[in-house]
């Protein structure tokens, strides 16, 4: 449509997209299994979402509506750049609204608003292998996956409890997909892990530097690893969002100009939608007449 001339639709050539789609089909067929793919050079460095971008580029159609978030926000430099990249190379519509998007590319968060069957969530993954820290040899971790031999991951959680008294892993918290494959959910907070479970949306994961894609098909069981006497639990806050009063969302601590601090939703669309609907928090309650 109004994509930049000289570039193929969504930047990647059709053959590359087909290759990535084949890898994605395999990934969907074997939930949680890391499928190698021929990662291409992208016009941005590794660590800036090259894996996610290649996945998005391969599944994107002209009718799609794209939302891009980084740390839950549509407005960070990285999110803005990726959105603009697709705007220029594919010319398709973009949105900030979770419910309007057909594809959501994300780094660090899953939107608070429940997703539906018509949506695809694309995660940017820096480190696809959850066991790397304890077992750096890839040949070994591959064998451990093949044999579903995941005791090592519990060694890591054991060590957390021995050291800190509780499982201190709060991001990229390891999960078992469909009762079979151990998977790194990318650096989302463990707060978002329950949203991975039985999600109606297709969830795709792309790691550019490591050249791996993996997937959670819709309605797939996803369990967070834990111990019987130290069950998995998500983060909780003492107070609701200071801007929209939400009690069910992931909060970021924000330092105020005056030196104070407040806790606000990390999902900016969720927060703004609530504010627009009239919810107010402690920081933006309209000044009272008597004051």
Which residues carry out catalysis?
32, 241, 244, 265, 271
Indicate the residue among 146 and 255 with the shorter CB distance to other proteins. Answer: 146
Tell me the C-alpha distance between 271 and 285, whole Å. Answer: 14
Q: Is 227 in the site for other proteins (CB under 8 A)?
A: yes
Indicate the residue among 228 and 288 with the shorter CB distance to other proteins. Answer: 228
CB 265 within 8 A of CB 244: yes
**In terms of Cα–Cα distance, which of 165, 160, 159, 188 is closest to 175?**
188
Taking CB under 8 A as the binding criterion, the range among 12-20, 54-62, 111-119, 155-163 that sits at the site for other proteins is 155-163
Q: Is 165 in the site for other proteins (CB under 8 A)?
A: no
Query: What per-residue string of b and e applies to 113-147 under the rule 16 or more CB within 10 Å gives b?
Result: eebeeebbbbbbbbebbbbeeebeeeeebeebbee
Tell me the C-alpha distance between 177 and 232, whole Å. Answer: 15
Q: Is 139 in the site for other proteins (CB under 8 A)?
A: no
Q: Which residue has the tokens 């979402």?
A: 49
Q: Is 248 in the site for other proteins (CB under 8 A)?
A: no
Q: Is 180 in the site for other proteins (CB under 8 A)?
A: no
Length of the chain: 291
| CA-to-CA separations, 141 to 27, 96, 124, 130, in angstroms, rounded | 18, 38, 21, 9
Q: Is 159 in the site for other proteins (CB under 8 A)?
A: yes
Q: Is 161 in the site for other proteins (CB under 8 A)?
A: yes
Q: Is 155 in the site for other proteins (CB under 8 A)?
A: yes
Q: CA Rg, the chain, in Å? A: 20
**Which listed residue (4, 25, 29, 134) binds other proteins by CB under 8 A?**
134
Q: How far is the CB of 4 from other proteins (least distance, A)?
A: 49
Taking CB under 8 A as the binding criterion, the range among 151-159, 175-183, 184-192, 236-244 that sits at the site for other proteins is 151-159
**Which listed residue (151, 258, 260, 278) binds other proteins by CB under 8 A?**
151
Q: Is 149 in the site for other proteins (CB under 8 A)?
A: yes
Taking CB under 8 A as the binding criterion, the range among 150-158, 244-252, 256-264, 274-282 that sits at the site for other proteins is 150-158
Indicate the residue among 162 and 277 with the shorter CB distance to other proteins. Answer: 162
Burial of 268 (0-12, 13-18, 19+ CB in 10 A): buried
Name the residues that contact other proteins, by CB under 8 A: 134, 143, 146-147, 149, 151-152, 154-156, 158-159, 161-163, 226-230
């Amino acid at each position: 449509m109004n994509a930049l001339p000289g570039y193929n639709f969504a930047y990647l050539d059709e053959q590359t997209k087909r290759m990535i789609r084949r890898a994605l089909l395999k990934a969907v067929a074997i939930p949680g299994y890391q499928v190698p793919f021929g990662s291409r050079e992208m016009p941005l460095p590794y660590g800036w979402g090259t894996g996610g971008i290649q996945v998005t580029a391969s599944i994107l159609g002209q009718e799609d509506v794209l939302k891009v978030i980084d740390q839950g926000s549509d407005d960070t430099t990285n999110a803005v750049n990726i959105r603009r990249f697709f705007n220029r190379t594919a010319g398709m519509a973009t949105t900030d609204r979770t419910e309007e998007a057909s594809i959501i590319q994300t780094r660090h968060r899953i939107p608070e608003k429940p997703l539906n069957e018509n949506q695809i969530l694309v995660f940017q993954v820096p480190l696809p292998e959850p066991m790397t820290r304890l077992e750096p040899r890839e040949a070994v971790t591959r064998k451990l996956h093949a044999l579903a031999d995941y005791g090592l991951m519990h060694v890591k959680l054991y060590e957390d409890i021995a050291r800190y008294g509780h499982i201190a892993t709060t991001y990229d918290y390891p999960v078992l997909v469909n009762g079979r494959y151990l998977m790194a959910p990318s650096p989302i907070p463990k707060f978002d892990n329950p949203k991975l479970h039985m999600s109606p949306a297709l969830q795709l994961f792309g790691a550019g530097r490591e050249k791996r894609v993996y997937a959670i098909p819709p309605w797939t069981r996803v369990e967070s690893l834990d111990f019987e006497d130290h069950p998995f639990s998500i983060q909780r806050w003492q107070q609701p969002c200071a801007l929209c009063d939400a009690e069910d969302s992931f909060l970021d601590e924000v330092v105020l100009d005056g030196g104070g601090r407040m806790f606000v939703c990390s999902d900016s669309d969720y927060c703004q939608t609530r504010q627009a609907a009239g919810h107010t928090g402690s920081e933006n309650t309209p000044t009272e007449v008597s004051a």
